[in-house]
Amino acid sequence: MGSLHSSDQPALNVEFEYPSPVLLLERGLHSVREGRYAEGVVYFTLAREQLGSGYIHLATVLDAFTQGYIAYWDAQQGLQEASKRFVQVDVEQQSRIVTLQTLLPALVEEAQAKSPAMDQPAIKNQNPLPHPALRAPLQDAQRRYLAAPARVEVIDTLPALHITCFGGFAVKRSGLPVVLCSNRNGQAILRYLMTQQGYRASVDMLMAALWTEDESEVAHHKLQVAVSALRRSLNNGLDCDPGGGYILCKNRVYQLDSLVPLRTDVDEFLAYYQAGQQASGDSVAMQFEKACQLYTGPFLTEDLYADWSFMRREQLSHIYLTMCSTLAEHYLEAGRYEDTLKWATAILKENQSDEAAHRQLIRAYFALGRRSDALRQFHRCQYILNEELGVQPMPETIELFHIIHRGEIS
């Protein structure tokens, strides 16, 4: 057997001498055990180049490992994509469950309201038009956003409301800020209504969401106290009947008065998103930019750890990231690289593990002649993926890194 320090290898200047094959193999094995396969392959390749002719079996094993790395990487990426798809499908299914739970009380209420006093069949004479809560969320958002100004002219009972849900909850009445009640549960009730179709929720839903540990009677009493405090703060300075004003209750269902002109930043956000989906060319970017400018932070940051706000927040975040990605890619193809930086950075602010956004930044930096920033962005991407997900960059990201090193990117 030959020596690992084979005399067949040319002598190297000590200043630039590589570590011994043994040390390289040890480092490679350590990297592989830690899950850093790409790093391990580099060490194994360097060790392989220094092996003497007497280590044919070891060289064969190293060659097989290096060749098998691509297949391993492809399989790992397939598993990761399947996992992402499962999470996405699960979120969609959970959202549908929440929607069904929301619609059921509305259907029960409508069936009771439409039932004749006599013994005639109740279902036969019902209005065939669907209940407002049954309309698609995006269509309902667009209807509210576009139709609200016309309704203001005919509705003069209560001033219009504008509610902000992104980045921090706030309420304005006729353009002036409303100081909400000091009762935290009262504020939470209003935020909860913002997550529901038609801004309505049954007594049971509210008690289950906000007072999970309390007995039914205790939770019901706390709910009444909280609603009363919320109603007083919203109705402050207005001549409203007791139990009336902005918050109404009928058949054990609380809701915002549907006759009051109401706008929310979420409605406007979704309206612009839908308009962008239906547009083409540069109009898509224009509508998406208007929507993204409304997204000043996650939905209902005051309730980040509440189960009842999670689904809605994830849906809106997904829509926002989809639009940002579209904008970044659009401007990258158009050669507007500063705009690409803006929207790719916005993605990473929301999800720093988005590898596609890292690639968009790398390409934009290099196109702007900022090669050092492009290389730093690759290393930042590599570090974040390893720390957050325990994986190395995808092959296309690594290839992009090599292309930049060679200066070949167009």
The Cα 185–Cα 364 span in angstroms is: 47
- pLDDT higher than 50, residue 17: no
Handedness of CA 322, 326, 332, 335 (dihedral sign): negative
The Cα 134–Cα 308 span in angstroms is: 20
Judge whether 135 and 106 are in contact, CB under 8 Å: no
Tokens, residue 19 = 């570590």
**Secondary structure letter of residue 134 according to DSSP:** G
Q: What is the pLDDT of residue 155?
A: 37
The Cα 195–Cα 186 span in angstroms is: 15
- pLDDT higher than 80, residue 396: yes
Where are the domains positioned within the chain? 1-115, 156-260, 295-406
The Cα 289–Cα 384 span in angstroms is: 27
Least confident of 25-39, 96-110, 377-391: 96-110
The Cα 219–Cα 114 span in angstroms is: 31
Do domains 156-260 and 295-406 share one topology? The answer is no
Confidence band of 21 (pLDDT split at 50, 70, 90)? confident
Percent of the chain with pLDDT over 70: 71
Least confident of 12-26, 101-115, 202-216: 12-26
pLDDT tens digits, 120-165: 443 333 444 444 444 455 555 555 544 444 333 333 478 999 999 9
- Nearest alpha carbon to residue 261 among 358, 179, 163, 193: 163
Q: Distance of CA 193 to CAs 93, 94, 172, 306, Å?
A: 21, 18, 16, 14
Contacts of 23 (CB under 8 A, 6+ apart): none
The Cα 306–Cα 298 span in angstroms is: 13
Across the beta sheet with 161-164, the strand order is 176-177, 170-173, 161-164, 262-264
The domain at 295-406 falls in which architecture? Alpha Horseshoe (1.25)
Q: What is the mean pLDDT of the chain?
A: 80
Alpha-helical regions (H) of 171-215: 184-194, 203-210
The CA radius of gyration of the chain, in Å to the nearest whole number, is: 30
- Nearest alpha carbon to residue 307 among 214, 218, 195: 195
Tokens, residue 4 = 């690992």
Q: Is 263 helix (H, G, I), strand (E, B) or coil?
A: strand
- pLDDT higher than 90, residue 6: no
Query: What single-letter amino acid sits at 43?
Result: Y
Q: What is the pLDDT of residue 118?
A: 40
Average pLDDT in the 74-91 region? 65
Residues in the chain: 410
pLDDT tens digits, 202-231: 999 999 999 989 999 999 999 999 999 999
pTM for the model stands at 0.62
- pLDDT higher than 60, residue 291: yes
Phi-psi region of 245 (alpha: psi -120 to 50; beta: other; left: phi over 0): left
pLDDT tens digits, 352-386: 999 999 999 999 999 999 988 998 999 999 999 99
Domain 156-260 maps to which CATH number in 3.40.630.30, 1.20.1730.10, 1.10.10.10, 2.40.50.140?
A: 1.10.10.10
Q: CB neighbours (10 Å) of residue 311? A: 18
